[in-house]
Amino acid sequence: MKVVGSINMDVVVEVERAPEAGETVLGSDYRLHPGGKGANQAVAAARLGAAVEMIGCLGRDAYGDTLYGTLRGEGLILDNLQRVTQPTGAAFITVDQDGQNRIVVSPGANAVLTSARLPSDLERTDWLLMQLEVPLDTVRMAASRVRNGGGRVVLNAAPATVLPAELLEALDYLVVNETEAGELLGGPAPADFEQALQAAERLRGADSTTIVTLGDRGAVWAAPAGSGQVEAYTVAVVDTTACGDSFVGTLVWALSENEPLEQAMKLANAAGALTATRAGAQPSLPDLNELRRFASI
């Protein structure tokens, strides 16, 4: 499996409530956690046993040094992780007393992951996982190359943006949350399972599958062979950071292990719920033993 995506240092502050416009609130001491949607999803899959190559860019700075060491410690293949002159990407995150987060991302080095920096052997990829925290043209080119080589392409369209037709046609799986689904369709977020299923049907291609996650309400899918839904697990939420990334990384790991889609969805849903019970992005991602105990598999 290859992951083309972002690598960030997360700067996290806990607050009683998020500030209103023009307001200042006091928070906790800040904490630094390794993050970025690409890196989070790569680590999520690797902790479950997948062989994962991370393709991205880090700055030649202290954050970059720390994150490189963290990813190497997770067992990721880093042959095509490049060090650049731009500062390492960073995300600034507030977490309120209900565990809900608000995130501002400074792309930094992620913005220079151009299509020219993609590895020459990309066509030999079996599973490619991407997000939208790196340039859209890079995502489009990577998807096209892997699809032409016979590999499977998964896109977590976050943050949401208009997706070119060429990219949509190259996808095997599109994964979005309810807010992103609404943005892609130019309307409100789906409010329940029925609306989410309708959104998934509208977003999927003739030969592709679309998955819409609904947070603490579960998730739905629409595929060429049919549609379905999985209920959420009830947990005590500590921090929702990286729950979606945990879901996506686990989903692709399960699919790459030839799990049926419904079982892969259940495992992904369990991983996302388990992630919500712990603080931080990558520190909260479960390993395979934890996932098996939690999901009773």
In the set 121, 216, 245, 287, the catalytic residue is 245
Q: How far apart are CA 214 and CA 203, in angstroms?
A: 16
- Which residues does residue 34 pair with via DSSP β-bridges, in sequence order? 9
C-alpha span between 119 and 140 (Å, rounded): 14
Is 245 a known active-site residue?
yes
Q: What is the DSSP string of 62-114?
A: HHHHHHHHHHHHTT-B-TTEEEESSPPEEEEEEE-TTS-EEEEEE-GGGGG--
Q: Is 29 exposed, middle or buried (0-12, 13-18, 19+ CB in 10 A)?
A: exposed
Residues with active-site annotation:
245
